[in-house]
Amino acid sequence: MSLQAVVGPMFAGKTSSVVRKYTANTKLGRSVVIVKPSFDNRYAEDHVVTHDGLVAPAIKVRSVADIDRTQSVYIFDEIQFFDEPMFSGDVVALIMDLRGRGCTIFVHGLDLDWKGDPFPVTSRIVNIADSTLYLTAQCAVAGCQRCADRTYLKTSCRDGTGAIRLGGHQEYEARCTRHWQDEGAAGAVSVAAA
C-alpha cells in the first residue's frame, strides 16, 4: 500500500506519467482505474490524453460517490480539480480510506496555480503522501534553458472573470521562476491553470 503524489507545472509530463503507470500496473495483472474530474473534457470524455497524444481509459467523476472502491490501483489525474465547485466530497478522506484498505494510489496534478498559489487539494495530498515526485518542464521563453517549475497564463488570456479555465498551449506556458516573475503574476486575476 502506498500513496505517491506527482506534481509540477503544465507540460511537465504528469499525464504521461498517468499513462505509464496505468500500462505498467495493467501488465502486472492488477485491477487499475484512472479517475479524472468530469470538469476536464479537453480531449476526451472517457480517456486521459496527454498534450502530445498518449491515451488511456479513464472514468470521469463529479463526486466521491462516483468512485468505485473495488480496485487495487487508483490513478488520479488533475487532482487540483477534485475540489468545490468542480467536485463534491472530500477526495483526500477517500484516498486515505483507499490507502488504509491496502490500495496503491497515484495522484497527479498541478501544485501551484498560474499566480503561484498552492492548490488546496494538491497541498493536502502532498502532506500525507508516502512520496512526492516534483516534475519540471523546460522554460518556454526563447533561448532559456532553465527548468520550468511554474505555469504562466499568457497575458492575452487574462479576462478578469476569476473563473477556472482549462487550457493547453494556447493559454499556458511552463516557465522558470525568473521568467514567470518577469512577466507573470503581479496584479493578475484569479484564474487557475489546468
What is the structure's pLDDT at 4? 97
Q: Which helix (H) or strand (E) holds 183?
A: helix 177-183
Contact (CB, 8 A) for 155 and 128:
no
Pairing of strands 32-37, 59-61: parallel
Q: Which candidate in 45, 78, 173, 183 is catalytic?
A: 78
Query: Per the structure block, which three cell numbers stand in for 138?
Result: 523546460
Active site residue 183: no
**DSSP result, 41-83:** -SS-SSEEE-TT--EEE-EEESBGGGS-S--SEEEESSGGGSS
pLDDT digit string (tens) for 70-79?
A: 999 999 999 9
**pTM of the entire predicted model:** 0.86
Q: Mean pLDDT, to the nearest integer, of 86-107?
A: 96
State yes or no: pLDDT of 189 exceeds 50.
no
State yes or no: pLDDT of 64 exceeds 80.
yes
